A and B are shown apart, each in its own frame.
Chain A
Amino acid sequence: MLGSGIVKGFVETARNFVGSFHDPGRLVTIEYPDERQELPENSRNFPMLVYDGDDRMKGLRCVACKICEKECPPQCIYIEVERDARGKALKHPRIFDLDISVCMSCQICVEVCPFDAIKMDTAFELSTDNRFGGLLLNKHQLAKPNSYYRAIHPLEAAEVDERLAAEQARAAAKAKAAAAKAPAPAAANAVAT
């Protein structure tokens, strides 16, 4: 009969109303400043620079190769290489600036980085009252320890750590082999490939 659908709708909304008081499964709102949702493994916001060890600047994995600067679609990264007194480039950034008002969180910088130096951060509470300086992050602000990286992206970080450890072991073996002046360089090549 005409009007039965309306009655059905009323029953449904009444069920919602009553249910929201006693059924926590219905009231799914997370009241954000008071309680927080656990971010999923793959969540990302803006890039950060990972460093190893204790010194924020010495431990940076970044070698200032500028690949990310070139690849960045909105061109939000600016890098200058650190040079010594004779003008020889050191494998270290003197300036690494990232404008998060321009960054579009595409993660291309992370994918092109051959040194696993730049990774995506999950921090999102970045609001500031200074829209130029406050949103332009320098290398001190961007540097995050590897332990932090492991905490926010455990699976990805474990994979990266494993790979880096393997590479280091290989490099160490190669160096040892080179130091021992091994008569068979082919063996070292075989390990490398």
Chain B
Amino acid sequence: MFELFDQLFVNLKHAVVGALPEGWQVLASPLISAAAILGVFASLFALTVLVERKGLGRIQNRPGPNRVGPAGLLQPLADFIKALTKEDIVPVSADKVLHFLAPVVMLAPVLLAYAVLPFGRNMVAVDFDAGLLFFFAAGACVELAVFMAGWSSHNKFSLLGAMRAIAQMISYELPLILATLGVVMLVGSLSLVDIVASQAGHHWGWLARWWVFTPWGLAAFVIFLIAATAESNRAPFDLPEGEAELVAGHLVEYSGFKYAIFFIAEYLGLFAVSALAITLFLGGWHAPVAALDWLPSWFWFGAKLAGFIVFFIWVRGTLPRVRVDHLMGFAWKFLLPLVLWNLVVAAVWWYSRGWAFAGAGILRWVGCAAMILIPYSLLGRALYTRHGLGPRTYRLAA
């Protein structure tokens, strides 16, 4: 029974592919995977927009959208129709070709990134040996799309927004990639399937062996989350679209469905990076405790992803937008040293795995946690209490 539900989608796909004639099978297998990913995550996008609007409403003590359909459930449909039917305006002085290509270049790499993510047991479209690298390589192409959008609009707001976005993405890509390196070091593989497999099994027979339960894993997870929020341009790091100063950043001159594609790409990027966080630190599709192993693997992946989405909405409802110099300073002066040091801690954790004396486990955990917490609090104190958040003196204003 468990096998049936756990492998439901895998068997379904095999059945469909097997029913096709011989020559079509090679082509059909990746196409079916791609269609499934596209369908599932596009619907998740629609659902997320609704949940986000309602959740943000509740956080701000208002009911949120509740007019379209029962309890506002058809709001995504209304939004979709609105986006589709709006006039598509291309500025006269815009670079027409690049202006058209930018949304496409934005969405394509984001969708590509889903190819290597394992959504459940045996549920991965392509298992690359260097899957993690593939994910980041796909993510790197997004920057070029943002630049294309900003430059081709021929608008100073969009160009400034694009420059900001690129600066932010490049700055936060470093902590993002370095945070994953600890896991890669200990697993010894860049394949995401291997990384999930390395988190199988249980501590003391019940608690899952996820990397987030190690001190360096927890630190890397938190840094990864912060950097991922910045990478996907979400609040509180949504400066590229800062309405107050840049109107909408690189999206100023986009309307109608092109704007919707940017919007979709942004959310799909958020899901992808959440899925990567789940894969690297939260055990992928493994259940959190042994007693819950009877639920199918894809259920656990979906549940964790839903948790991430709720968390990101909560973050957006809580934190105000950061200032642009704080943004850069935070990445380069705070996150980068910490994440580099975290790699050292991960190495210490790896070399202390053979300790066998009494209380070794607790000592190892506490020792590594202290190795992270002490630099964290010292660095935080040095950066943010001595020179940091006071009246600012502008260097260029003198």
Query: Which A residues have a C-beta under 8 Å from some C-beta of B?
Result: 1-3, 6, 9-10, 12-14, 16-17, 19-21, 26-29, 31
Interface size class of B (residues with CB under 8 A): 10 to 19
Query: Nearest residue in A to B334 (C-beta to C-beta)?
Result: A2
Q: Tell me how many residue pairs across A and B have CB atoms closer than 8 Å.
A: 45
B321 on the A face (CB < 8 A): no
B380 on the A face (CB < 8 A): yes
Query: Which B residues have a C-beta under 8 Å from some C-beta of A?
Result: 55, 58-63, 66, 314, 317-319, 376-377, 380-381, 384
Query: Nearest residue in B to A14 (C-beta to C-beta)?
Result: B314
Query: Distance in Å from the Cβ of A70 to the closest Cβ of chain B?
Result: 45
Contact A2 B63 (CB under 8 A): no
Query: A29: which B residues are within 8 A, CB to CB?
Result: 61-63
Contact B318 A13 (CB under 8 A): yes
Cα-based distance from A17 to B52 in the complex (angstroms): 12
Query: B66: which A residues are within 8 A, CB to CB?
Result: 31
24 contacts across the A-B interface (CB closer than 8 A)? A2-B376, A2-B377, A2-B380, A2-B381, A6-B318, A10-B314, A10-B318, A13-B59, A13-B314, A13-B317, A16-B58, A16-B60, A16-B61, A17-B58, A17-B59, A17-B314, A17-B317, A20-B58, A20-B61, A20-B62, A21-B58, A27-B61, A29-B61, A31-B63
Query: A1: which B residues are within 8 A, CB to CB?
Result: 377, 380
Query: A28: which B residues are within 8 A, CB to CB?
Result: 61
Most buried by A among B61, B62, B317: B61
Query: B63: which A residues are within 8 A, CB to CB?
Result: 20, 27, 29, 31
Cα-based distance from A150 to B131 in the complex (angstroms): 77
Cα-based distance from A28 to B66 in the complex (angstroms): 15
Query: Distance in Å from the Cβ of B58 to the closest Cβ of chain A?
Result: 5
Query: Nearest residue in B to A33 (C-beta to C-beta)?
Result: B67
Query: B381: which A residues are within 8 A, CB to CB?
Result: 2
Query: Distance in Å from the Cβ of B314 to the closest Cβ of chain A?
Result: 7
Cα-based distance from A152 to B381 in the complex (angstroms): 61
Given contacts A2-B377, A2-B384, A3-B380, 19 further A-B contacts (CB under 8 A): A1-B380, A2-B376, A2-B380, A6-B318, A10-B314, A10-B318, A12-B318, A13-B314, A16-B59, A17-B55, A17-B314, A20-B61, A20-B63, A26-B61, A27-B63, A29-B61, A29-B62, A29-B63, A31-B63
Cα-based distance from A1 to B58 in the complex (angstroms): 29
Cα-based distance from A13 to B381 in the complex (angstroms): 26
Query: B376: which A residues are within 8 A, CB to CB?
Result: 2
Cα-based distance from A1 to B381 in the complex (angstroms): 8
Most buried by B among A6, A13, A27, A28: A13
Query: Distance in Å from the Cβ of B244 to the closest Cβ of chain A?
Result: 20
Query: A9: which B residues are within 8 A, CB to CB?
Result: 318-319
Query: A6: which B residues are within 8 A, CB to CB?
Result: 318-319
